[in-house]
Amino acid sequence: MVLVLFGLLYALPNVFDQDPSLEISGSRRATVGSATEQTVRTALDKANIAIKSTDAGDDKLLVRFNDSESQLRAKEMLETTLGGDYTQALTLSTDVPGWLQSVGALPMYLGLDLRGGIHVLIDVDMDAAVSQAMERYNGDLRTLLRDEKLRYSRVAVRDDAILVSFKEAGLRDQALDVIGNEYRDLQLEALDEGDDFLVQAKMSPSEQRAVKKFALDQNITTLRNRVNALGVSEPVIQQQGERRIVVQLPGAQDPSKLKELLGATATLEYRLEDTEHSVEDALAGRVPPGSRLYQTRDGRPILLKRRVIVTGNQITDASSGFDQRTGSPMVSVSLDSQGARRMRNVTTENVNKPMAVVFIETRKDTRLVNGQPVTRKVQVEEVISVANIIEPFGRRFQTTGLDSPEEAHDLALLLRAGALAAPIDIVEERTIGPSLGQDNIDQGFASVLIGLAVVMIFMAIYYKVFGLVANMALLLNLVFIVAVLSMLQATLTLPGIAGIVLTVGMAVDANVLIFERIREEIRNGSTPQASIFAGYEKALSTIVDANITTLIAAVVLFSFGTGPIKGFAVTLFIGILTSMFTAIVGTRAVVNLIYGGKRVARLSI
Amino acid sequence: MQIFKRTTEIDFMGKRNLAATLSVLLVLISLGSVLVRGLSLGIDFTGGTLVEVGYEQAVELSKVRGVLGEGGFGDAQVQHFGTSRDVLVRLPPQAELASAELSDRAFAALKQAQAGEATLRRVEFVGPQVGDELTEDGGLAMLYALIGILVYVALRFEYRFALGSVIALVHDVVITLGIFSLFQIEFDLTVLAAILAVIGYSLNDTIVVFDRIRENFRKMRKGSAVEIINSSLNQTLSRTLMTSLTTLLVLVALFVFGGEIIHGFAFALIIGVLVGTYSSIYVASTAVLMLGISKADLMPVVKEGAEVDAEP
């Protein structure tokens, strides 16, 4: 009985509606208060969009709607009304009263195929992460040897090793010591090749693993930042396997925007302009050694110093806004302490000299070359702004010279989100529109109810009173499945609903086994009471055996399946367990209640 | 109400040769079809892009093909999905474009097909690499499920029973696959899940029969193996049919009301339950018989079974 009440309690939240809602939150410059609530209400009234209710939380405003259509219209509407300082996330919010929520009773967590949303599987290019690390070592070793005044003739990367060549064996041995002391993670080896004395440096397997793990973790962090900036409630960003990342955005509807954001790798570099040399000379091919030729957005050539002052990795925060003096769009940037120190040093020495911002964007480009797809990385480097250093600055500063507020907004977003540690590739995408999600829910529930009704009618006709008892168990079983799913907050998917339907069909199996046994016993001439007893006893081991094998299949499904299949495995698994309980214990209790302790001449079976 | 007023006395095993011939024939046809025609694999396994779009009014497929052709998607497969307002477009994996962008461009083209709003109902993109992995994982999953079951049944019963049940399972899976191949019904991830569920279901049936065979071997003093198996099958017959019937009822409900996406899943299960019911009567028992089960083989098991029976 306690269990039944418990099951009912936790299944209860699912009775309440889930309203399509908008969650409005402010950014740094805008807070959500009662004024916002007023603005939202007036704007929606004017557009004739019905609001069910609004809920002001801390720094958040939840607006509930009657249907998802008004929710979508409202989002479009409010985007223009409220402007870019607010993010609006589509979400489902429940009506469940507070006392239920306080005991942890929540409605089932609906999967993306039911609530609509975007699922993306991302592959992280681990080989690139390792080769990037090799490149870093390449540079570091050069610097180290220069600092130690050990003259090398060449440093090259070959396969998975860095080779440093020396003219003399003595120098090589010295270098071996120096490198060994400085970089303990490198596996060093001395090689002789012709006249050259080489140091071969390889990354140890453990360090390669560490590099890969770092790349994955860093990418997850970066992707999480980028996704958060999109304004979606309850995003899921998880590692899957050794090199994959799953991103799930419930309620999101614009996959192209997401993919753009996920795929882009943009960073900034701040460099000084080289004003001592002429651009014309450089264009003619005489680029001064310490400088490099760039192009500005409008195609003008510009000569910049090679030395980078600060890179995008050192940016801790960035936000867009308008320059108070000129009114043009700008991005205000904050640096970490190391970046701030460098920036201060450089700007102090170079007041009134121009500094340029280089915007570097990497994207993938796949083309057919001789019938084979070849993926290339295309790097676009542009100087987005050149401005005179008016006064020395450090931690916080502004970048102006952007074309539009949108551009400033996007740039701030990319800067804030940080750089990806290794290139990524989207290898799987599943987007379900909200209308299809709702259809799936409706159809899923319809088939559960109809399947249930048909089986119940059938059982009642075939087994009479015992059939009714089995039907009670079946209903209870359904309550338990829903309760367990809600308690675990396991994801309910469309195949999951199919799993419930299947369990409904199979759940009566245990009762059929028992009832057929009872009938058999009666035919063999046993008394009704003895038949009931024998029926339950003899059927038990059969039921357990039969169900355990199905459990094995469910476990295998769960461990191998992805997303939706997992949902099926979960409901199947839970359904088998709860159905064994309700069919054996539940019906026995009721049968005993009806027939127990009295002399019965005939059983209604 | 009862299907059979009393325990039936059908001579199932008498027709075992006929049944075995039928089964072997069906399995051979299925295998042949899978090998020759192959399965019509969905994009889950082949990789590719699928876009489902809902229009406000019914739309003609020729129009949709037209706009897709103009957009550079001449090789797209177009079909109605569920209603005449919904259109499903399948695009083969393409190399020229970063595949993730494909769906965006296709949707942009699809919007042109008809005046009025077109809503994006579903996009599925699976990279070829992921497709290969899913195929491999799917095959492995089936293999592991079979091994797990083999081990459990061997421990709980006897190795001949384990072999018999696995033979029945393979029989069911192969025939279900064969039907999907013969009629070229799309085989996607949900169908794979359904087939694994079929394994669980069919086994459930088989185990119930085996349980009774074991019980009868111990209980019935006289009678040949054939007779004992026959009476076991008859005793469990009404249960076998009942459970299959209720399961089929809900599956038909799922097939009719569950929507297009779940069709393949429900269909695979319906086939699986039908074949599974047949196989638990004929294939599994026949296999056990052919493997030469006898009373003596079950004696060591009696001890284990006795504990269960001894419980009050």
The architecture of the domain spanning B48-126 is 2-Layer Sandwich (3.30)
pLDDT tens, position by position, A474-504: 898 888 888 888 888 888 888 888 888 888 8
Which of B254, B262, B270, B307 best probes binding to A when mutated, by most A CB atoms within 10 angstroms? B254
Chain A residues in contact with B97 (beta carbon < 8 A): 366
pLDDT score recorded for residue B303: 44
pLDDT score recorded for residue A27: 56
Asked if the C-beta of A548 comes within 8 angstroms of chain B's C-beta atoms, the answer is yes
The phi, psi pair for B227, rounded to 5°, reads -65, -40
pLDDT score recorded for residue B217: 84
Asked if the C-beta of A71 comes within 8 angstroms of chain B's C-beta atoms, the answer is no
Cα separation, A547 vs B208, in Å, equals 10
- Which domains does chain A show, CATH number per domain? 18-95 (3.30.70.260), 127-208 (3.30.70), 264-419 (3.30.1360.200), 433-595 (1.20.1640.10)
pLDDT score recorded for residue B32: 93
CA distances from A264 to A261, A376, A420, A430, B152 (A): 6, 14, 9, 20, 51
The amino acid that residue B292 corresponds to is G
Chain A residues in contact with B254 (beta carbon < 8 A): 447, 451, 498, 501-502
Structural element, H or E, at residue A94: strand A86-94
pLDDT score recorded for residue A378: 65
Per-residue buried b or exposed e for B110-121, using 16+ beta carbons within 10 Å of the residue's own CB? bbebbeeebbbb
The full 3-state SS of A67-87, as one line of letters, equals CHHHHHHHHHHHHHHHCCCEE
Chain A residues in contact with B125 (beta carbon < 8 A): 426, 428-430
The phi, psi pair for A425, rounded to 5°, reads -145, 130
Lowest mean pLDDT among A293-302, A355-364, A423-432, B209-218: A355-364
Q: Across-strand partners of A156?
A: A163
pLDDT tens, position by position, A48-69: 777 777 777 766 777 888 776 7
Cα separation, A570 vs A555, in Å, equals 8
From the list A446, A455, A572, the residue facing B246 with the nearest CB is A455
Which of A240, A481, A501, A562 best probes binding to B when mutated, by most B CB atoms within 10 angstroms? A501
From the list A263, A440, A451, the residue facing B261 with the nearest CB is A440
Contact call for B96 and A459, based on CB within 8 A = no
Asked if the C-beta of A137 comes within 8 angstroms of chain B's C-beta atoms, the answer is no
Return all residues near B234 (Cβ < 8 A) that are at least 6 apart: B7, B8, B9, B10, B12
Instruction: Find, in chain B, the residue whose alpha carbon is nearest to that of A439.
Output: B259
Portions of chain B given CATH number 3.30.70.3400: 48-126
Q: How far is A446 from chain B (nearest CA, A)?
A: 6
Which of B233, B241, B242 best probes binding to A when mutated, by most A CB atoms within 10 angstroms? B242
Contact call for B152 and A541, based on CB within 8 A = no
Q: Helix (H, G, I), strand (E, B), or coil: what is residue A422?
A: coil
Asked if the C-beta of A253 comes within 8 angstroms of chain B's C-beta atoms, the answer is yes
Lowest mean pLDDT among A91-100, A439-448, A468-477, B213-222: A91-100
Cα separation, A200 vs A215, in Å, equals 25
Per-residue pLDDT at A84 exceeds 60: no
From the list B122, B156, B308, the residue facing A432 with the nearest CB is B122
Per-residue pLDDT at A23 exceeds 70: yes
pLDDT tens, position by position, A126-180: 887 788 778 778 777 887 888 788 888 888 887 788 888 888 888 888 888 888 8
Topology of domain B13-41+130-310, CATH:
Multidrug efflux transporter AcrB transmembrane fold (1.20.1640)
Chain B residues in contact with A565 (beta carbon < 8 A): 189-190, 192-193
pLDDT score recorded for residue B26: 92
B-facing residues of A in 439-478 (CB < 8 A) are 439-440, 443-444, 446-447, 450-452, 454-455, 458-459, 461-462
Portions of chain B given CATH number 1.20.1640.10: 13-41+130-310
CA distances from A141 to A200, A307, A540 (A): 12, 18, 72
**If we measure between CA atoms, which residue out of B99, B138, B136, B116 comes closest to residue B63?**
B116
Q: How far is A498 from chain B (nearest CA, A)?
A: 7
pLDDT score recorded for residue B307: 43
Asked if the C-beta of B204 comes within 8 angstroms of chain A's C-beta atoms, the answer is yes
Going across the sheet that includes A265-273, the strands are A291-295, A301-311, A265-273, A354-369, A372-388
Asked if the C-beta of A556 comes within 8 angstroms of chain B's C-beta atoms, the answer is yes
Return all residues near A427 (Cβ < 8 A) that are at least 6 apart: A121, A122, A123, A244, B126, B127, B129, B130
**pLDDT classification of A29: cutoffs 50, 70, 90:** low
Lowest mean pLDDT among A35-44, A402-411, B76-85, B235-244: A402-411
* Low pLDDT (below 70) residues in chain B: 1-7, 94-101, 115, 295-312
Chain B residues in contact with A367 (beta carbon < 8 A): 96
Asked if the C-beta of B96 comes within 8 angstroms of chain A's C-beta atoms, the answer is yes
pLDDT score recorded for residue A564: 64
Radius of gyration of chain A (CA): 34
Q: What one-character-per-residue DSSP string does chain B give?
A: --SSSS-----TGGGHHHHHHHHHHHHHHHHHHHHHT--EE-HHHH-EEEEEEEESS---HHHHHHHHHHTT-TT-EEEEESEEEEEEEEE---SSS-HHHHHHHHHHHHGGGSSS-EEEEEEEEE-HHHHHHHHHHHHHHHHHHHHHHHHHHHHHS-HHHHHHHHHHHHHHHHHHHHHHHHTT-EE-HHHHHHHHHHHHHHHHHHHHHHHHHHHHHHH-SS--HHHHHHHHHHHHHHHHHHHHHHHHHHHHHHHHHS-GGGHHHHHHHHHHHHHHHHHHHTHHHHHHHHTT--GGGGHHHHHHHHHHHH--
Q: How far is A512 from chain B (nearest CA, A)?
A: 6
pLDDT score recorded for residue B175: 94
On whether the CB atoms of residues A249 and A258 are closer than 8 A, the answer is yes
